Structure 1
């Protein structure tokens, strides 16, 4: 197997890991005003992701860095053509991170309410725009023969990409609700479990429609198989949520996200950014890749350091594995 194919697969794994882990972070942030009824419950919800949210974002940084090093043409065209939506995602992530750190610095309801809005918006915007971005990557965008994006911001707001955005939004919300049902106890757990059941209906409809639309456009055999597996995992998540089997429901929603990302990348291969222009040239794993020597060095670096990162993050989740209750949150705000 060529190193270009290996790195395309590794980048797909990084994005799948990011959607799996950061997906429930976004879901918790979006559901903050829905599930939390008072300040202690809001702090409870934030504390469920407090020890891990910044570690989950490492997957995004590594995915971006790997794309830059392994496929510089892809990186350049992607970030020049998708500049505004990616900038909005970056700003939202920065604001959300600041909100986690600063909402407890001042003992004022107004102060905390403003930062809570930042958490909600900072979770909603990326959850929507990541789906829009990947929808455009799979669908194709206007790229000329010089590998330059020649469309506009409104070119990206096509029906297929918007459905992709609503799909990731609904899946992340469901993933977050299931995670809260798994990570909390008491009334919050019960409300999160009921909400997960309600969120499953739009999530199933949107995900099924988007994956079906994708495969009808591309008709890839492996894409069909992975899409069917993702649909089966999502149905399993719905059944597990209804039975209040939070652990299995979380595994199923996570598998849905991983399999959906895999289906999109398999459908995309060997392109990395197809063009919609008649005289344009699509970016592929061949014409967008770095030199073989660069890919070889990167492969050895990945082999050495990836197990360390995975081991550390697994240890973090193991340490903070227990359920949280409102009683664990002090009554007075520090």
Structure 2
């Protein structure tokens, strides 16, 4: 496939679903009567939600009383063993201990599919989204079962990704990405270096004070609960070819691959051809679904099985995020042995 022949990346082809009977992703959970307290309901029904999550990979909790950020945090705590208070890729809300704002990105652009934190040594196994304001059009959070993506991709392509693994390259350029201080949750360079050493991350300080890191991670994992193979990574979010054509061309013209704000290559440092990324995108979009948010909705994702994205939107959109039950890439690799 010739990447240049594709239209600019868009999520418009993603299938739209109305969650309900017969729709497996996301699996809809509703109370018998709207407006019940979710945390009280979960005290009796948490096991059934966990079972649905294992089977389907994503659960949409709709019709419960979740009026605000504080109620969402309580619900997230009831749905996770341990929430993560120091996740570096999202901006923590000042008024909460475990709640973050969704990624800030231009409204008219899509954020492509990714598993949260799959580009880091430790990633959450559960992710939750909460619709706090719903006066918008578009702005869906499309989701895709990456176990299905794994099975739909060409087996030779999957084997290549599995054999070589991935190397994520990131440069914390001011005004382009989060500050390294926010990502590592410290102002101390020595503390950053210690974290990198402990987690096997390569780092390099630039003359202008910015930081570059490189992190190795698998392209696919064996799910620790089901044993299924999942194409769990962030290749579509990091590969430069997935940017709009003008931005990708401009960046490639002035920056070496290792100096791009974000990029991903094979684990041995060799580039991933644009055509391979285009094929992954094609299969992912074909497999994905999206639904319309309603005020108070909570979507619970198995982050090891299901990837998410964001559609362009207009209006006043507030989607809050919580992540939890963090696992290490090392433990996932051990489970595959």
What is the TM-score when the length of structure 2 is the normalising length?
A: 0.25
Of the two structures, which has the highest relative contact order with CA contacts closer than 8 Å and spacing of 6 or more?
2
Higher-strand-fraction structure:
2
What is the TM-score when the length of structure 1 is the normalising length?
A: 0.25
Higher-helix-fraction structure:
1
